[in-house]
Amino acid sequence: MWCKPLGHDRPIPGDPVNHPSRMDAVQSPIIPVVADLIRQHPGTLSLGQGIVHYGPPPEIHAAISEGMAQPHSHRYQAVTGIPALVEAIAHKLARDNGLDVDDRRRIVVTAGSNMAFMNAVLAITQPGDEIILQTPYYFNHEMAITMAGCQPVLVATDQDHQLQPAAIAAAITPRTRAIVTISPNNPTGAVYPAAALEAVNHLCRDRQIYHISDEAYEYFTYDDRPHCSPGGFAGAADHTLSLFSLSKSYGFASWRIGYMVIPAPLISAVRKIQDTLLICPPVVSQYAALGALQRGVDYCRQFLPALDQVRQQWLTALAPWGDRCTVAPAQGAFYLFLRLNTPRSALDITEDLIRHHGVAVLPGSAFGLDQGCFLRLAYGVLDPTTAPLAIDRLVAGLQALT
């Protein structure tokens, strides 16, 4: 075993402590950075992390008790998920997403949809390949691509954060392996219309690349905007990977259950990845997820009016700011993406809001926007009674900037 000599203060050639790592190229996750600042300033209201204000349905408790009472539930289970949960997911996909799981598709239960995305990237790429992201992107997607030794290729959305299919097509190269879309969108709250998603999906089909569709916020849409699942398009089964999560819709953040629907030829690769990283998703969480899905989507939808009310409270409070603080249309998820007319950096303003005004947001630079000052505001953690205090603090902070 190699040991560093006592008293040696200078790096040694070949010193493993100082050896470069692939992690050196990966951005630091912004959530822990902001969380550290919040801990230093007790009483801060956090609008940083994307969570909802409610918890899971009570039906999970009976499902856990029944599942864990089975004699072998404490042992490793199927790599791709317990059969009862996979079956419940298949019913949900057919009902809500127009996705029929047949011999051309497979369901894989994962430890959250972040793991589903990592599975997807590792399964379809080799080091040096490219994956197209829309900017602003979800930072964990960019991080996963970089960790895999691949290159994120960034394509700007328009001024309302909508897809630009022509620009996406122009960004495809011989190294491109996939195009990623997130709808409803994190961080902007944009909802992509079916026509735009279909254009991207057909582009992937024609160029023989994959469409990775992240649909973690599928139930969070407002103003009568429908959610569209690209995997439900005719002919999409062979090139579409659809990612879902219970973290948001069922208040399941810490339970870490998501799932992916993938073309059948990818199942061998995904099994290898998941068996290596996880062996199987936590069984107790899988039974909890089964109880949640048995309770049904009406559980999630009962909270939408209150979330929409909070969204409207924010939009009303920010409207008088005009071009000093603009908000693009946000008809989905539970985020507002603010653009401030200021020369200051988004990170500087984020720190200022925490230190002096007791409210936390995330800087747009974490989502790939280095030009201009953008902030992501996550209002899912608020209900109509708690939103006014957060609004007052943020507005006071914005006023102090002028």
Q: Which of 4-13, 153-162, 318-327, 339-348 has the lowest mean pLDDT?
A: 4-13
Please state, for a pLDDT cut of 90, what percent of the chain lies above it.
87
Query: What pLDDT shows up at residue 62?
Result: 96
Average pLDDT of the chain is: 93
pLDDT of 10 higher than 60? no
State how far the Cα of 181 lies from the Cα of 97, in Å rounded to an integer. 16
Each residue's pLDDT tens digit, 255-309: 999 999 999 999 999 999 999 999 999 999 999 999 999 999 999 999 999 999 9
In this structure, of 20-24, 123-127, 129-133, 336-340, the range with the lowest mean pLDDT score is 20-24
> In angstroms, rounded to a whole number, what is the distance separating the alpha carbons of residues 312 and 276?
45
Task: Give residue 19's pLDDT.
Answer: 78
What was the pLDDT predicted at 17?
66
Give the per-residue pLDDT at 7. 41
Extract the tokens encoding 380. 């899912």
* 38-92 pLDDT tens trace: 999 999 999 999 999 999 999 999 999 999 999 999 999 999 999 999 999 999 9
DSSP 186: T
Reference 361, options 377, 346, 345; nearest CA is 377
Q: DSSP characters for 69-125?
A: TSTTTTS---TT--HHHHHHHHHHIIIII-----TTEEEEEESSHHHHHHHHHHHH-
Q: What is the pTM of this model?
A: 0.93
Which candidate, 234, 192, 195, 188, places its Cα nearest to that of 213?
A: 192
Q: What number is the average pLDDT over the span 198-203?
A: 98
Beta-bridge partner residues of 374: 339
Give the dihedral of Cα atoms 383, 402, 41, 385; nearest 10 deg.
Answer: -10
Which residues are CB-contacts of 385 (< 8 A; sequence separation ≥ 6)? Answer: none
Q: What is the pLDDT of residues 114-140, one digit of tens each?
A: 999 999 999 999 999 999 999 999 999
Domain residue ranges of the chain, discontinuous segments joined by +:
16-55+301-401, 59-296
* Contact (CB, 8 A) for 313 and 387: yes
Q: Does the domain at residues 59-296 carry the CATH identifier 3.10.20.600?
A: no
CATH 3.90.1150.10 applies to domain 16-55+301-401 = yes
For 385-397, the pLDDT digits (tens) are 999 999 999 999 9
Q: What is the reported pLDDT for 30?
A: 86
And the tokens for 258?
Answer: 């998501």
